């Protein structure tokens, strides 16, 4: 295997296994995300952090492909947190998990560079699909969730 060590040998090919880091201020939120993703085929949860700042070393050290982050991370806005992660860890994809079922918040997340936006109340249904989609270079947002409802 060559490259970043994440199983992604080709620039356009999705990684064989998707390495995910979870970022959320609340341990319960991280545990819920871990529970949803932990048994999914081809997805490995490789780390967790309570803040975007704490996640940066974890993301780089563990070769994360995707970061799933709670939209509310204490003092930093979701957009600021997405920007910090993308600036510090080139090549990683971000999925934002949010309580806000509002296209304005989704647009802000995408404008900040996130590739996925999943409603927390639909995470049991959509989080695995969102992680896979962004790892493969696609976007996943409210329109996907609406079409699956």
CA Rg, the chain, in Å? 14
State pLDDT tens for residues 41-69: 999 999 999 988 888 888 989 999 999 99
- Cα angle vertex 72, ends 45, 54, to 5°? 50
Which residues fall within 8 angstroms of residue 94, CB to CB, at 6 or more apart?
66, 67, 68, 69, 82, 85, 86, 113, 114, 115, 116, 134
Residue in the structure block whose two tokens are 């490789």: 46
Residue in the structure block whose two tokens are 């952090």: 49
Task: Choose between 11 and 48: higher pLDDT.
Answer: 48
The partner residues of 18 in beta bridges, in order of sequence, read 43
| pTM of the model as a whole | 0.85
Alpha helices (H) along the chain? 27-37, 52-62, 78-88, 103-112, 123-135, 142-148
The confidence score (pLDDT) of residue 3 equals 31
State pLDDT tens for residues 69-93: 998 876 666 788 898 899 988 899 9
């Amino acid at each position: 295997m060559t490259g970043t060590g994440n199983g992604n040998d080709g620039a356009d090919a999705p990684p064989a296994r998707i390495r995910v880091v979870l970022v959320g201020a609340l341990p319960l939120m991280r545990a819920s995300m871990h529970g949803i993703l932990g048994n999914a085929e081809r997805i490995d949860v490789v780390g967790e952090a309570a803040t975007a700042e704490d996640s940066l070393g974890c993301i780089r050290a563990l070769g994360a492909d995707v970061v799933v982050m709670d939209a509310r991370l204490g003092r930093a806005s979701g957009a600021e947190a997405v920007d910090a992660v993308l600036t510090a860890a080139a090549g990683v994809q971000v999925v934002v998990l949010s309580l806000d079922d509002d296209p304005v918040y989704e647009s802000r997340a995408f404008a900040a560079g996130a590739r996925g936006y999943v409603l927390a109340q639909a995470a049991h249904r959509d989080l695995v699909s969102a992680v896979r989609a962004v790892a493969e270079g696609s976007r996943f947002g409210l329109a996907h969730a609406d079409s699956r409802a």
